[in-house]
Amino acid sequence: MVLKKRLEYGLHGFQVLTVPRAPRSTRRRGPNKKKIDDSQICAFELLASLAGKLLQESESSSASSNASEGNNQTFGDDVIKQEKQAEDKLLKEEFFEQGSSEESAFVSVITSQDIDEKFILKKFSNAVSERASNKSDFDDKVNKDVKSVICNTKPAFQNYPAKVEVGCPLIEEPCHANVENGKERQQKGEKLETGSLTKANTCNSEDPMQLQIEFPTAVNSDNDVKLSLLREPVPNASFSRHRNDIKLVGSDDDENFSRYNKSSTKGKAFKPPARIGDRRIRKLLTSKYWKVAPKLRDCEVFRSDSGVKPLYNKRKSCYSRDRFQHDTFCKRRKLFHRSSVVSSDGGFSSESVSNSPEKGKSGDMGFNGMFHGAAGVSSSVISRQASFNSKDSHVKFSIKSFKVPELFIEVPETATVGSLKRTVMETVTAILEGGLRVGVILQGKKIKDDNRTLQQTGISSKDNLDNLGFTLEPNILPVSPSICADDPLPSLSCEAPEQLTRSTGTPLIDSAISDSLPEPPPPVTNIGTLVSSNPESVSSHTDPLTDTTPDSQALVVVPAMSMEALAVVPANPKNRKASEFVQRRTRRPFSVLEVEALVQAVEELGTGRWRDVKLRAFENADHRTYVDLKDKWKTLVHTAKISPQQRRGEPVPQELLDRVLAAHAYWSEHQAKQHGMQQTGTLKITDASADRHGAEGSHSS
DNA sequence: ATTAGGG
DNA sequence: CCCTAAT
């Protein structure tokens, strides 16, 4: 009735205006197979673990050397205070620096493991240019308002707050707390805390690192996302007290603006706030909740090899665990390969994620009761569930171990183990210095739109979070997208000997610190030739220590100069592709409402005028492009044709589908007839509502 | 920048 | 949804 009328009107009203175009079916192209992206994940598990172990090792040595003062509480407090001050200061600087840039985010890395015992505070702002080069990166605006503070602490004594707290009360846990303790605290916290709550959970897992994350599914309001990464105490006594905390405060500022703000005529209801950071900054600076774990001095981190043993002990003790992880990694890798999404662009690292609510019993600890701690914590999980059920849904899961992005390391055989360690350490540090970004991967797809809520993204407490992954990416990316990481390698490898001799301890790595290579390597001029003549050198040069794959581009940043030199060499499209971590937009099923709007618009405008359709019906839906609408129409038509049983997803009212068919038929006719359509019989189309197939004959006579 | 089609 | 060719 009403619909009928509208349709009639629409058809009549627009038939004159419409200038149908000839079908472009002639444009059909042959199968233009796209190259398979067979790039591999390049996260070096081995290296990662090596690095991790080195850290622990150094810690252990420091811990042991600090044994006497290890329990010195007073000392610790002082340190805490000092550190806190220092940190605040630094943070302040950071914030100010950040200042006007609404696009910048920063990551602070505070590490006591630094050789010079200083914090490394690095700010980074995502290179806008880099983003711009990524054509599918629509979400330029965000993640800039995500501030994270990474605190890498070096424990040397027992009782110190193990949390870095930002803007929200947290449960503090002494790092020596055992599982029981943690449980208690959790339960306690359960009652005390409302809303988002982050808990530091100490467990005995061998995990070098574990992330526990909990945050509301909807982060578009005032909610802060808190993420705490804690370094798990390792079984070994010398390790048992150390942990790293990461507190990540992310804020999606209130609005949910669309991924890209098109400069259209439409009023931009959502304009990115000019100073996204400010509020948070203030919050951060004034927060009473800042709790900074003390960074204890390391005593000659690399001095002795005493750590080796514990290291291996640890290894052994967690062997099965490693196995497990490895397995999951493999699985994940497979998954990624299937979706051909994963290319290690800038340092890919994925880790297993367990969904606590989902698993129930495994609780915070993770998978399948894999961890002993799991049982101990499960109860609290349950209660937590209960508590959050009444409130907003929270997504809870734990991240077990980030994998360190790929590193390239090369040292002479004659180098000492110590120097190797140092090299790795420096490499890692360099990357941290460069700043890290956290990427979120869902079902193999990288989620780049920081503005969407978790719900919108498909991360909900109800969903299976197994598909959720995170990456740590070096913040510094190659300036020129045309340069693929593979290319520089040969040159590097060929320079390797020279460099190594030049600087003994200097890692021959292309880490995030491109400046670390002061002088242009001599052989530069040859690079081009090298690349073409000896491609194998890429893989052949790979360090045995690293499980590198030829395709891995990792966080490799090409030294400025070799970049230039290489620029001449046409970048391999395949590699190029891999290097661009193009994220697939997350799926956003059309709602019935949207379908309705689309149908109506198409009824009136016809197919082939998607831009107009977009303008008419979806002007305010920035996430729907005209291509999307066109695609949706396509699927709608298909859906309408198939039997209801075969349809999936949110069922579209048959009435709408009928209209789809009718309009489709009509406009098909219309187009086919080009001009000569005087469909007086247009009215018949409306009959389609009653009889879907009636539409077929509904055209003008 | 849009459209049409294929994947 | 993505990618591309063709407009």
A387: number of Cβ within 10 Å? 15
Whether any strand C atom is under 7 angstroms from the Cβ of A340: the reply reads: no
Structure tokens at A493: 């490898």
- The answer to whether A666 and A699 have CB atoms below 8 angstroms apart is yes
CA gap A98, A697 in Å, rounded: 65
A447 token code pair:
């989620």
φ, ψ (nearest 5 deg) of residue A489: -55, -50
**For A391-515, where are the alpha helices, taking DSSP H only?**
417-434, 454-457, 488-502
- Protein CB footprint (7 Å) on chain C nucleotides: 1-7
Q: What share of chain A is helix, strand, coil (3-state, %, to 5)?
A: 45, 10, 45
Measured in Å, how far apart are chain A's first and last C-alpha atoms? 23
Q: What is the pLDDT of residue A446?
A: 66
What residue ranges of chain A have pLDDT lower than 50? Answer: 1-390, 477-579, 674-701
A594-697 topology per CATH: Serum Albumin; Chain A, Domain 1 (1.10.246)
Q: What is the pLDDT of residue A668?
A: 82
Beta strands per DSSP E along A551-669: none
SS (HEC) of A101-119:
CCCCCEEEEEECCCCCCCC
Q: Which residue is nearest to nucleotide C3 (CA to C1')?
A: A34
d(CA A450, CA A252): 7
Q: Does residue A159 reach within 7 angstroms of strand C, measured from its CB?
A: no
User: Is the distance between the Cβ of A35 and the closest atom of strand B smaller than 7 Å?
Assistant: no
Distance CA A651, CA A638 (A): 13
Within 10 Å of residue A19's Cβ, how many Cβ atoms?
10
CA A288 to mean position of chain CA atoms: 30
Q: Is the CB of A588 under 7 A from strand C?
A: yes
A103 CA vs B6 C1’ separation (Å): 37
Residue A613 φ then ψ, to 5°: -60, -45
Beta strands in A25-96 (DSSP E): none
Rg value, chain A, Cα: 29
What Å value separates CA A440 and C1' C1?
A: 19
Say whether the CB atom of A270 is under 7 angstroms from strand B: no
Cβ atoms of residues A198 and A228 within 8 Å:
yes
Distance CA A261, CA A259 (A): 7
Pairing mode of beta strands A146-152, A245-251: antiparallel
pLDDT value of position A223? 31
Cβ A91 vs Cβ A72: under 8 Å: no
Distance A31 CA to B6 C1' (A): 8
Give A10 CA → B7 C1' in Å.
33
Question: CA of A17 and C1' of C7: distance in angstroms?
Answer: 21
For residues A350 and A471, is the Cβ–Cβ distance under 8 A? yes
Asked if strand C comes closer than 7 Å to A29 Cβ, the answer is yes
User: What values do phi and psi take at A687, rounded to 5?
Assistant: -65, -20
Instruction: Return the DSSP state at A564.
Output: H
Contact A150, A246 (CB under 8 A): yes
Question: Residues with Cβ < 8 Å from A29, sequence gap 6 or more?
Answer: none
The DSSP secondary-structure symbol of A648 reads -
